[in-house]
Structure 1
Amino acid sequence: MKATYKKYILDFKKPSGTSRGILNQKETWFIKIEEAQNIGIGECGILRGLSVDDRPDYEENLKWACDNIHLGEQTLYDRLVDFPSIQFGIEMAFRSFHAENPFILDPSDFTNGTSGISINGLIWMGKPEFMQAQIADKLDSGFDCIKMKIGAIDFDAEIKILEGIREKFSAEQVTLRVDANGAFKPEEAFHKLKRLAALDLHSIEQPIKQRQENAMAQLCADTPLPIALDEELIGVYGYERQKQLLQQIKPQYIILKPSLIGGYRGCDAWIQLAEEQGIGWWITSALESNIGLNAIAQYTYSKNTIIPQGLGTGGLYSNNVSSPLEIKQGMLWYNLLQNWSFQF
């Protein structure tokens, strides 16, 4: 068995804004393992400035993993604990290698094309008219769950945008989520959550920056709006530390991004702890190409969750890998009439 990797730059169709800045490109790395006629494909994707493995020695460790692929999936996974996106890429590649079809990692009604996955429509930050245009497009496309990134423009302007949706659609008609990406200051967060809660929102992701456990715990205890931890989970390793974090903060939800928390095994660990403590969860992509998104979607479907997931990122790039993944009426589907066009 041998393994190789290559870097690939994904180009956004339009600049995409978050509270951490504007995204124009995203780096990712593909892994291919092969033996005889069998191949397996994985993706290692980081988010600069966010992923815990955004380090100068990232590619060095990716090369080490490929050079030592003979050690096997479990040994490599254990030794790459500081590189969760490489862990996920290795897991993905081995699962792909052992599958009958390297792109069907978890056969199901989803991969048969007979069942879809409910997803939220993602609204990027920008000028109010740009955000309103995105919302109109998502609603026209059949989405009944909208996730809007907030925290980069004037808060009153963001409130007005959300009010505009609520004037037309009730909470029963359209579910609204917001994601602050840690943009609020602890001393202002509760006041802002009260204003958002008045608009019948489903939840807010990461209202304040991570690693402020006491402040986040107080916010989750007092909040008028359900809070979902996202960045808070990144870099938190080990059962006891993860359990302690959830017990201390007591969030209403957690958000799981496999590339940021150690892939399938990382998600499974957090899900088990969350369910033991009565905490809700959903799964979100971390802007991977369609290779990674495909693996995440198939894994997500296997969990039998019914709330909308964050898997609507496949159409962001002008040079994404062509795939059977498509979005129809607010759901992600696997279209068997479409082929993969992946070349390593």
Structure 2
Amino acid sequence: MIKASYKKYILNFKNPSGTSRGILRTKETWFIILEKNGKIGIGETGLFRGLSIDDVPNYEEKIKWVCNNINLGLHNLLKELCEFPSIQFGLEQAFLSLESNNSFELFPSEFTRGEQAIPINGLVWMGEKEFMKNQIKEKLKTGFSCIKMKIGAIDFESEIELLKSIRKEFSSNEIELRVDANGAFNPNEALEKLEILSELEIHSIEQPIKQGQIQEMAELCSKTPLPIALDEELIGVFSFENKRKLLETIKPQFIISKPSLIGGFSGSKDWIQLAENNNADWWITSALESNIGLNAIAQFTYTLQSKLPQGLGTGGLFTNNFESPLEVLNGTLQYTNSKKWNFKI
């Protein structure tokens, strides 16, 4: 018999982090802990307030129900949790962790042995122009060759000036620039803004308009001079058939898989398979999990062998994250086995 419990944990940001949804100072998360025959399994259910489809009043009650019914088994629990993708992800991690020889090694590989690294983008948060400029300088100084800049919080002209300042110093062969609008553009002005951005040889733009505007997004993807990546658009689409219809209708150039938001490893695999069937490429991004969830996402990502920089550089955002072997070095995420785990809550 498996014994299951859970614990809530509040992550504190080192610096308030700006998105188009507002300023983030804390991030709550939960851990599912399984015990069987002296072994322990740990999984993080990374709820993202205001973004997760399972941001509902009875969220913690659902985790409690899962722990009380853990002996239904993973397969049956996942079916019961189709509308709680972050809990699905936490459960997948916890069961893999319980079965492994090392609670934190879910997908043994050259990555977890410290032999290979994962290229990642350097994330630049929204804020005042000078603050964003300093972040860009810091990312370049620490060896990133791919920078992702969140846009939509300050005026568009200032954001364009920032991007121009990078392009004056670095060509698209030297620095890949991605932008993430988090749905900030109005559909009526989006194409014009994409044309302006395309002159700066931007790699791609994530979610230029708000999710749920399917026909508008499809039209934008058909006319865009700049590759579009769907992000929030994937949230809350549960059935394989509806996922297929969405991608066949919109025909994006990229999709972004965030396991906490779209049903964990199995949900990510569905989306990636469908993207490839529709000639779209993809990358995987963390969604402000602690190092427990980030570790699981990184190990899973490595097994898929994507050549694109991934969005996995968020482990250093919090003052009270857990010590782990994960380390960002020279624009990559590495597993440094001389560094040990310290999971105490």
Shared fold (TM-score, shorter chain, > 0.5): yes
Give the match for residue 151 of structure 2: 150
Distance 2:75 2:322 in 1: 28
- Asked whether 1:245 is paired with 2:224, we answer no
SS of the equivalent of 2:104 reads coil
How is 1:212-231 mapped onto 2 (pairs within 5 angstroms)? 212-231=213-232
Three-state SS of the structure 2 residue aligned to 1:251 is coil
Name the aligned partner's letter for residue 184 of structure 2: A
CA distance, structure 1, for counterparts of residue 176 and residue 234 of structure 2: 24
SS of 1:152's equivalent?
coil
- The Cα of 1:36 is off from its aligned counterpart by 1.9
C-alpha distance in 2 between matches for 1:306 and 1:95: 25
- 2:15 paired with 1:22: no
Q: Aligned to 2:86, what secondary structure does the other structure show?
A: helix
Aligned to 1:53: 54
Q: Could you report, residue by residue, the CA deviation over 1:69-95 in whole angstroms, capped at 9, with x for unpaired residues?
A: 111111111100110000000000000
C-alpha separation in 2, matches of 1:240 and 1:76: 21
Partner of 1:3, secondary structure, is strand
Q: CA deviation at 1:327?
A: 0.5
1:255-294 deviation digits (Å, cap 9, x = unpaired): 0000000000000100111111111000000000000000
> What are the within-5 Å matches in structure 2 for residues 112-261 of structure 1?
112-261=113-262
After superposition, residues 49-128 of structure 1 pair within 5 angstroms as: 49-128=50-129
Runs of 4+ in 1 over 6 A off after TM superposition: none
Aligned counterpart, 2:327: 326
How many Å separate the matches in 2 of 1:22 and 1:195?
27
Deviation at 1:51, TM superposition (A): 0.3
Post-superposition offset of 1:237: 1.1
Supply the AA of the counterpart residue of 2:227: P
| In structure 2, distance between residues paired with 1:296 and 1:66 | 22
Q: Which residue of 2 aligns with 1:9?
A: 10
SS at match of 2:315: coil
CA shift for structure 1 position 46: 1.1
Partner of 2:296: 295
Q: Which amino acid letter does the alignment assign opposite residue 42 of structure 2?
A: I
Alignment of 1:242-281 (within 5 A): 242-281=243-282
Are 1:33 and 2:34 counterparts? yes
- Paired with 2:241 and 2:32, the residues of 1 have a C-alpha distance of 32
**Cα distance in 2, alignment partners of residues 170 and 261 from structure 1:** 35
The offset of 1:2, in angstroms, is 0.7
Q: State the distance in 1 between where 2:169 and 2:151 align.
A: 20
Aligned equivalents of 1:58 and 1:315: distance in 2? 27
In the aligned structure 1, how far is the partner of 2:73 from the partner of 2:29? 22
Deviation at 1:306, TM superposition (A): 1.1
Unaligned runs of 5+ in 2: none
Identity of aligned residues (%): 62
Query: Which whole-Å deviations, capped at 9, do the CAs of 1:107-163 have from their partners, x for residues lacking one?
Result: 000000010000000000000000000000000000000000000101000000000
Deviation at 1:47, TM superposition (A): 1.0
SS in 2 for 1:50: coil
Residue 327 of structure 1: SS of its match in structure 2? strand
Aligned mates of 1:165, 1:233 — CA distance in 2: 31
Structure 2: how far apart are the matches of 1:217 and 1:111? Answer: 39
Q: Which letter maps to 1:60?
A: E
Code of the residue aligned with 1:316 in structure 2: it is: L
Q: Matched residues in 1 for 2:279 and 2:208: separation?
A: 21
TM-score, scaled to structure 2: 0.99
**5+ residue gaps, structure 1:** none
- 2:293 and 2:50 map into 1 onto residues whose CA distance is 20
Amino acid at match of 1:12: F
In the TM superposition, residue 35 of structure 1 has moved relative to its aligned partner by 1.0
Cα separation, 1, equivalents of 2:306 and 2:220:
27
TM-score for the superposition, normalised by structure 1: 1.00
1:239 is displaced (CA, Å) by 1.2
SS at match of 1:315: helix
Deviations 1:152-189 (A, max 9, x none): 10100000000000000000000000000000000010
Task: State the distance in 1 between where 2:269 and 2:33 align.
Answer: 24
Secondary structure in structure 1 of the residue aligned to 2:317: coil
AA in 1 matched with 2:173: E
1:26 shift after superposition: 0.3
Count of aligned pairs: 344
